[in-house]
Each structure stands twice: as C-alpha cells, then as structure tokens.
Structure 1
Amino acid sequence: MPTMTELAAAADSDDPGTGLAAVAALRRLADELEALHVHNARARGWSWQAIADALGVRRQSVHKKHARRSMREK
C-alpha cells in the first residue's frame, strides 16, 4: 500500500489513470479507517446514534453498513 505522501502526490497527478487509482486507494483507506473507528466506538459503548452523529450520517445508514461486521467480531 502506498504511503499517505505517495497517495497525495498521485491524487494531484495530471494523469487521469494515476489520479483515479489514488482516489480508489484513498476510498479503501477511508473505509478501513471508518470500520476501525466504528468498532472502537462500539467497544467503548457508543450508541449507533452517537457514531452516526460523529460521521454526519443517519443512524440507519451506519448501522446497516457496520452492524453485521460488529456482530461477527464478538
């Protein structure tokens, strides 16, 4: 996986292929970070509503996206 510096440079590239690959890598990274922090929040007793508020989304959205994963990790 490229470093954050490499991803930032690639995202700023004039080459569409390089830029789009960087966008895809950043999206995967953001999804992994979100899952990690949702898991940590749930482990510390945060409600789905509190997590949704922190992410700026609806409770149903964050629950649908992460609840199944949360149940598997128990």
Structure 2
Amino acid sequence: MTKEVDDMLKLARATGDDDPRAALAAARELRRTADRTEAAVVRRARVQGLAWAEIAEQLGVSRQAVHKKYGRR
C-alpha cells in the first residue's frame, strides 16, 4: 500500500471522530488529498493517450468539465 493511500485511509477514519472539529478538519484534508490524487491520475492518463471523453466518463463528469478543470491553461 502506498503512503498516500494509507494517509487517505487514516483521514477517512478520522472523519468519524466524535469531535466535530476534528472530523471536519479530516474531511477537508481528505478532499484536498483526493483532489491532488485525481489531478495526478488525470495527467498520467493524458500522457498515456486517453481522450478527455474517456477520462470524463471514468470520473462521472462531462468532457467539458474535466477539460476545463485539467486542460492546459
């Protein structure tokens, strides 16, 4: 298991903390980590030749949405 996956699992568990402040902080960090991970995977998919439409389908969003979020600026 990679360190990143291990960290995400710890954060996911921490969202169940009885202290709502701690749970919210864990949820925030989990979202940030997931966003960074998604961006890295999208870059890797593009390098390997996947089309925006295929990436969008896998992410469950429109081609326009994924291109807007991750396309070159």
- Into which bin does the TM-score normalised by the smaller protein fall? 0.7 to 0.9
Mapping 1:11-26, distance limit 5 Å: 11-26=15-30
The yes-or-no answer on 1:65 pairing with 2:69 is yes
The one-letter code matched in structure 1 to 2:33 is: L
Give the TM-score, by structure 1 length: 0.83
| Partner in structure 1 of residue 42 of structure 2 | 38
| RMSD (Å), alpha carbons | 1.9
1:6 aligns with 2:16: no
Structure 1 residues 44-64: Cα deviation after superposition (integer angstroms, max 9, x where no partner): 010000000000100000000
* Structure 2 gaps, min length 5: 1-5
Which 4+ residue blocks in structure 1 deviate beyond 6 angstroms?
none
Partner of 1:49: 53
Structure 1 unaligned blocks of 5 or more: none
> In 2, distance between residues paired with 1:46 and 1:24?
30
Amino acid at match of 2:35: D
Q: What's the offset of the Cα at 1:27?
A: 0.4
